[in-house]
Amino acid sequence: MSQQQVLRLRKLSLNELNAIFAPLSYKDRIKTLYEYFAEEDVLYTSSFGTKSAFLLHLISQIRPSQPVHFIDTTYHFQETLGYKKELIERFNLKVVDVLPNEAQNKMTTDEEWWKEHPRMCCTINKIAPLEPIVAKHQVWISGLMSYQTDFRARLRVFEQQGDIIKFHPLIDIEEGEFLYQKGVNKLPDHPLQAEGFGSIGCLHCTKKGQGRAGRWTGTGKTECGLHPNYYNKKKD
């Protein structure tokens, strides 16, 4: 049995994983992840938003065979879909589109749920479609960075989220380093970034603003639900 197989068979606690990975660089964290988890057990999702290109670039270099799941809520800006196409071609990405239930999605459209029920709109169009995919994986790569929000500032490299482990290789990168790496690697910006959009999600719930200030403005909502503690197994 190889050392890699031994490592995968041994179930490490979150504290053990964080002790191993926290001192590593973000590149080494990604490389080392696959010594502890088989690729088929690793989930990677990307929104193809304003901060997505850097991690997509890293994954394409370090683990080019890793699939990238994209949640197509049907409410994305056309600019986001164009940006997605550009990055797929540039990095030769293997992208898997995840779509909501057609009837439920139509209901949110017909009744404009994003106005009065933004949390449920996200649940139907983002969270529920990904739930069966999450259930098939052990660890979920996420591009969250601590400087973005107070919630993200409290996260470690590994966090338990329901029944899956979230992996944040970029969590402690400083904003200046992030911007420097984007420039050095000549990574393209999202087309709407130049128009004043700091963070970009669905068309109806995204406005211009620095950072995440333009997301769900006036609702008190700051996360779609993919990052807080969703995806608990249902009790029989």
Active site residue 205: no
Task: Choose the catalytic residue: 121, 122, 202, 224.
Answer: 224
Phi/psi of residue 159, nearest 5 degrees: -140, 145
Active-site residue set: 224
